[in-house]
Amino acid sequence: MSGMNTEIVKVDAANIDETVIEKAADIIKNGGLVAFPTETVYGLGANALDADASKKIYEAKGRPSDNPLIAHIASLDTLDEIVEDVSDVAKKLIDKFWPGPMTLIFNKKPNVPDSTTGGLDTLAVRFPSNEIAMELIKKSGVPIAAPSANTSGKPSPTKGEHVIEDLDGKVDMIIDGGEVGLGLESTIIDVTGEPTILRPGFITQEMLEQVIEEVKLDQTILEKPTEDFAPKAPGMKYRHYAPKADLIIVRGEANKVADWIIKEAAKSDKKTAILTVNQHIDFYEGKANDSIVASWGDLNDMEDIAHKVFNWLRKIDEMGIDIVYCEAFEEEGLGLAVMNRLTKAAGYQVIDV
């Protein structure tokens, strides 16, 4: 798709070209769209205080307009300009985890337009730690509303190429800062009432509970939302991160999981793939000859696995695979965030064996 002439510029985070950032900041100030790297995933940015600018984000992504945006800031003074009631709990989390991959939900001030918050009275705010993101926000002089820079429904972008694939011709500028550091979106915590994780991420429940007393988990993190059981983060109700392939997650003891997958894959005459880990790959050796067997890597390195989730989801489609069987991970620590993204990508097809 094309329409706009998108300027694509490579920027090295270790040696930032300030003229590029100034140009990008001018685009933001003038109500345009700039895609930029953050430490989690790429974001698609616009001035969060400009109603028309944030509307353009929804058009470029094909995003439903009831799905609110995260405002990105680069100083705590900006926080006070856009939200009310920053509680002591919120202050403790900010002290410990900002700048970084944590988004907090506050009550918004009236200057934040409805098109940024999808009509909600609350606003999601994040202070990213990526240098390019920080420079861009500072130079723009406004909070930058930025969802992940993918077409709505596709996996979040972790590389410049992903953003170009989805948004070339639809935005004014794409800053290609290479591969992002973390690869999963930020942890979202609602701090307007009892602190509750709405979307798990690198900052885990365990890490949060070392700083504040108790953090709840929204029920829809792993369970399928229903009409009377809606997720508090509106975006979590959409089929997300979805590859075109049918993704099936299989949970249980590793050898039983492998036996089940091998049998199912053998029954199918479609192009199948199996996603396992180094520790379990022997279970498949010589037994799954019609499937592609791939490993996430070391089961004990969840950071590495988390980093690869969106990459795999995009690669599956590039390889033209019809059905992917994926071993489940333990739903604790970072495993919860990985399972949250995989479960949604699978349209909640999780099979216990």
Residues making contact with ligand TXA (CB under 6 A): 38, 40-41, 43, 67-70, 103, 105, 117, 120, 122-124, 126, 146-148, 185-186, 188, 198, 232-236
Return the CA Rg of the chain. Answer: 20
- Please give the backbone phi and psi of residue 325, each rounded to the nearest 5 degrees, phi first: -100, 125
Of 38, 129, 148, 186, the one binding Mg ion (CB under 5 A) is 148
Kind of pairing, strands 102-108 and 187-190?
parallel
Task: Report what 232 binds from Mg ion, ligand TXA, none; CB cut-off 5-8 Å by kind.
Answer: ligand TXA
Nearest to 145 by CA among 28, 15, 20, 281: 28
| Site stretch for Mg ion (CB under 5 A), options 73-81, 98-106, 143-151, 300-308 | 143-151
Binding residues for Mg ion, rule CB under 5 A, total: 1
Are 147 and 61 in contact, with CB atoms under 8 Å apart?
Answer: yes
Secondary structure (3-state) at 71: strand
Residue-by-residue DSSP string for 273-319: EEEE-GGGGGGTTTT-TTSEEEE-S-TT-HHHHHHHHHHHHHHHHHT
Please say which residue, 140 or 148, places its beta carbon nearer to Mg ion.
148
Q: Rounded to an integer, what distance in angstroms lies between the CA atom of residue 141 and that of residue 134?
A: 11
Please say which residue, 44 or 258, places its beta carbon nearer to ligand TXA.
44
C-alpha distances (whole Å) from 143 to each of 64, 72, 181 are 22, 5, 22
38 binds Mg ion (CB under 5 A): no
Please say which residue, 178 or 252, places its beta carbon nearer to ligand TXA.
178
Please say which residue, 47 or 148, places its beta carbon nearer to Mg ion.
148
Q: Which residue is nearest to ligand TXA (CB)?
A: 235
What's the closest the beta carbon of residue 145 comes to ligand TXA, in angstroms? 9
Task: Report what 6 binds from Mg ion, ligand TXA, none; CB cut-off 5-8 Å by kind.
Answer: none
| Site stretch for Mg ion (CB under 5 A), options 145-153, 248-256, 296-304, 330-338 | 145-153
What's the closest the beta carbon of residue 126 comes to ligand TXA, in angstroms? 5
Secondary structure (3-state) at 196: strand
Task: Report what 242 binds from ligand TXA, Mg ion, none; CB cut-off 5-8 Å by kind.
Answer: none
| Site stretch for Mg ion (CB under 5 A), options 42-50, 57-65, 142-150, 192-200 | 142-150
Please say which residue, 144 or 293, places its beta carbon nearer to Mg ion.
144
Task: Report what 153 binds from Mg ion, ligand TXA, none; CB cut-off 5-8 Å by kind.
Answer: none
Please say which residue, 103 or 291, places its beta carbon nearer to ligand TXA.
103
Are 127 and 103 in contact, with CB atoms under 8 Å apart?
Answer: no
What's the closest the beta carbon of residue 290 comes to Mg ion, in angstroms? 34
Sign, CA torsion 178/184/189/195: negative
What's the closest the beta carbon of residue 192 comes to ligand TXA, in angstroms? 9
Tokens linked to 293 = 């067997």
Please say which residue, 149 or 334, places its beta carbon nearer to Mg ion.
149
In the chain, the amino acid numbered 268 is S
The length of the chain in residues reads: 353
Nearest to 287 by CA among 264, 317, 321, 316: 264
Please say which residue, 40 or 148, places its beta carbon nearer to Mg ion.
148
Q: Rounded to an integer, what distance in angstroms lies between the CA atom of residue 28 and that of residue 39?
A: 20
Q: Rounded to an integer, what distance in angstroms lies between the CA atom of residue 259 and that of residue 257?
A: 6
158 binds Mg ion (CB under 5 A): no
Binding site for Mg ion (CB under 5 A): 148
